[in-house]
């Protein structure tokens, strides 16, 4: 009866039941998909918010980077100024220490000369040589034979004093120290690629080497200053600007040479010619060899060495 009854369920009932099941399943599927979409929307909203925050952070950082990039030229200039000033001060100290060692070697040569002079065989000859210097101007008024006798005796004295003269002219012995390189800072002002208007050369030696040259002893710093000044003069002569006005000034406790070139027609490359002249001095200067030092031109832009307050200098 039961089986027969089950088989006798109307098809409509079964169809309606199928519809109910379909609706239930469809509702479940729709709810599930709706939840998934809601969750995805929320995820995307969070991602969009994060992306917007990232974009805002990137925009801020981009502005900072652009500002940093715009500030790089000024920062580079400041760093160059600082390193030039630092090394200028360092080289001044280096030359002061090397000058002391060089001075010791000069004194050692003087002692060797003095030791020779004090020997009996030379002491009297030196006295006679000095006495001749006192009467030399008046020899012309003496009789010829007397004058010839004095000159002949003087020649003999000079010959016998040859070891003393040799000791006086002997080269200074090199200092017992490692070789050092010293920078000479140079700057050429040529606005917008126009012909050069001004030249500045900064030597890491005391300004007094120039301003008080007659009051101070001729030391290594003075010799270096003289050599560089001579090179600058030769360079100006070679380039057709021998009459260019220049002055000496104090720059951060160092000696600066300032040359006005605006009224001169420069015929050549200033840096190249001065580099070559400094190299030549390095190879020929006995004091550089004795001091175990070498100079080198280091060229920088004018604004690197442009002082805030221009020091007064004496025009040459």
Dihedrals phi, psi of 36, to nearest 5 degrees: -65, -45
Output the pLDDT for position 308.
57
Dihedrals phi, psi of 257, to nearest 5 degrees: -110, 120
- Is residue 64 helix, strand or coil? helix
Answer whether residue 4 shows pLDDT above 60: no
How many C-beta neighbours within 10 Å does residue 89 have?
Answer: 14
pLDDT digits (tens, 9 = 90+) for 163-214: 777 777 778 889 999 999 999 999 999 988 789 999 999 999 998 877 676 6
Provide mean pLDDT across the span 140-161: 75
Flag the least confident range among 16-20, 62-66, 116-120, 267-271: 116-120
Residue 181's beta-bridge partner residues?
294
Q: Using CA of residue 9, residue 10, residue 14, residue 17, what is the dihedral sign?
A: negative
Q: Provide the b/e sequence for 110-131 (b: ≥16 CB within 10 Å).
A: eeebeebbeeeebeebbeebee
pLDDT digits (tens, 9 = 90+) for 72-103: 999 999 999 999 999 999 999 999 999 999 98
Q: Between 135 and 282, name the one with better pLDDT.
A: 282
pLDDT digits (tens, 9 = 90+) for 25-79: 999 999 999 999 999 999 999 999 999 999 999 999 999 999 999 999 999 999 9
Answer whether residue 296 shows pLDDT above 50: yes
Output the pLDDT for position 61.
94
Q: What is the dihedral of CA 238, 244, 250, 253, to 10 degrees?
A: -10
CA–CA distances in Å: residue 109 to residues 135, 164, 218: 29, 11, 15
Flag the least confident range among 96-110, 198-212, 272-286, 296-310: 296-310
Q: pTM score > 0.85 for this model?
A: no
Q: Is residue 10 very low, low, confident or very high in pLDDT (cuts 50, 70, 90)?
A: confident
How many C-beta neighbours within 10 Å does residue 97 have?
Answer: 12
Dihedrals phi, psi of 248, to nearest 5 degrees: -100, 140
Q: Between 56 and 11, name the one with better pLDDT.
A: 56
Dihedrals phi, psi of 218, to nearest 5 degrees: -75, 100
Answer whether 286's CB lies under 8 Å from 228's CB.
no
Helix axes 162-169, 11-117, angle to 10 degrees: 160
Answer whether residue 128 shows pLDDT above 60: yes
Tokens standing for residue 100: 């002391």
Q: Helix count (H) and strand count (E) of the chain?
A: 10, 6
Mean pLDDT in the chain? Answer: 86
What does the domain layout of the chain look like in residue ranges? 11-59, 76-101+178-303, 107-169
Nearest to 226 by CA among 190, 257, 270: 257
* Rg, Å, the chain Cα set: 45
Nearest to 216 by CA among 256, 170, 255, 175: 255
- Is residue 271 helix, strand or coil? helix
Answer whether 277's CB lies under 8 Å from 231's CB.
yes
Answer whether 254's CB lies under 8 Å from 207's CB.
yes
């Amino acid at each position: 009866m039961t089986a027969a009854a089950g088989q006798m369920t109307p098809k409509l009932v079964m169809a309606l039941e199928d519809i109910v099941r379909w609706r239930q399943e469809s509702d479940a599927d729709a709810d599930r998909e709706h939840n998934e979409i809601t969750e995805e929307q929320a995820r995307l909203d969070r991602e969009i918010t994060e992306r917007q925050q990232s974009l805002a952070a990137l925009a801020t950082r981009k502005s900072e980077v652009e500002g940093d990039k715009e500030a790089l030229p000024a920062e580079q200039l400041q760093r160059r100024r600082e390193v030039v000033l630092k090394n200028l001060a360092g080289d001044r100290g280096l030359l002061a220490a090397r000058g002391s060692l060089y001075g010791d070697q000069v004194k050692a040569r003087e002692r060797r000369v003095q030791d020779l002079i004090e020997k009996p065989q030379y002491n009297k000859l030196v006295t006679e040589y000095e006495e001749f210097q006192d009467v030399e101007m008046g020899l012309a008024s003496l009789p010829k034979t007397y004058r010839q006798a004095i000159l002949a005796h003087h020649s003999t004295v000079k010959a016998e004093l040859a070891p003393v003269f040799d000791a006086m002219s002997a080269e200074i012995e090199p200092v017992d120290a490692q070789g050092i390189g010293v920078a000479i800072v140079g700057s050429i002002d040529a606005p917008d690629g126009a012909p050069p208007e001004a030249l500045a050369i900064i030597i890491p030696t005391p300004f007094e080497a120039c301003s008080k040259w007659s009051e101070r002893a001729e030391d290594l710093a003075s010799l270096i200053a003289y050599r560089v000044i001579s090179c600058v003069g030769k360079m100006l002569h070679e380039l057709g600007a021998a009459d260019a006005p220049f002055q000496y000034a104090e720059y951060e406790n160092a000696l600066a040479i300032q040359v006005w070139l605006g009224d001169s027609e420069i015929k050549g490359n200033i840096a190249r010619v001065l580099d070559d002249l400094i190299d030549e001095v390095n190879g020929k200067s006995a004091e550089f060899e004795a001091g175990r030092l070498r100079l080198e031109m280091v060229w920088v832009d004018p604004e690197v060495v442009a002082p805030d307050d221009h020091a007064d200098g004496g025009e040459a």
